[in-house]
Structure 1
Amino acid sequence: MKASWNGKVIAESDQTLVIEGNHYFPPNSVNKEYLTASDTHTVCPWKGTASYYTIEVDGKINPDAAWYYPEPKPAAFPIKGYLAFWKGVEVHH
């Protein structure tokens, strides 16, 4: 699977985990040069508190377009640190 935005591959892995229709990419498969930590946090009742990254590619900014669970609840422990994408980021084969 690949996650692409603005013509660049943000993440690529054949070992994503799919939860609720979202592909979560292993941390070592993500090009962190395109990510900046965000102050945004949301809470999922069963996964826990999510943290976000803003994606920046060639001067274009996509705020809070990637999220991850740094300390997920036990039911979601397999996705600890894995990143998922939305807001126009294409996830495809």
Structure 2
Amino acid sequence: METEVTPGAAEPSPGFAKNPDYRIVLESPDREFVATLQDKVLARSRRAIILREGDYPPVVYFPPEDVRLDLATMSDKDTYCPYKGMASYWNFGIENNLAWSYEDPFEEMLDIKGYVSFYMDRLDDPVI
């Protein structure tokens, strides 16, 4: 399944309001994704979503129930994206801000609400 994110019908996010032609694509491939750190599985899912945005590398978002959040603590870091909203960050062990999630995203990005993504270059192996 592939879905192109388009500005919301009610009120678009600030990013889409300013740039309605911006392209974000969400894919639900039929395969398993695994995120490991120091040989420990942090996430494993067949229900992950791949987000493709502009010229950025693709990002895998894991459903929260498929992430070992019992190994994580919330960070005090947050960042803002005008297309997605505020991102909250997660620490895993001594790896600070290794993962992030959008707990209250803009309407256009509700499909990734609560899903967790990792900095792939900090994991044992690339997820994609």
What is the identity percentage for the equivalent residue pairs of Structure 1 and Structure 2? Answer: 35
Q: What is the correspondence of 1:2-81 to structure 2 with a 5 Å cutoff?
A: 2-20=34-52, 21-56=58-93, 61-81=94-114
Please state which structure has a larger fraction of its residues in strand.
1
Question: Which structure 1 residue ranges, 5 or more long, are not aligned?
Answer: none
Look up the match of 1:92. Answer: 127
CA-atom RMSD in angstroms = 1.3
Report how far residue 33 of structure 1 moved: 2.1
Aligned equivalents of 2:126, 2:105: Cα separation in 1: 23
Larger radius of gyration: 2
TM-score by length of 1: 0.89
Equivalent pair of 2:77/2:89 in contact (CA under 8 Å): yes
Question: Which structure 2 residue ranges, 5 or more long, are not aligned?
Answer: 1-32, 53-57
Deviation digits for residues 21-69 of structure 1 (CA, Å, limit 9, x no counterpart) = 110000100111221100000001100000000111xxxx111000000
Q: What one-letter code is carried by the residue in structure 2 that aligns with 1:17?
A: I
TM-score by length of 2: 0.66
Report how far residue 75 of structure 1 moved: 1.2
Aligned equivalents of 1:66, 1:91: Cα separation in 2: 14
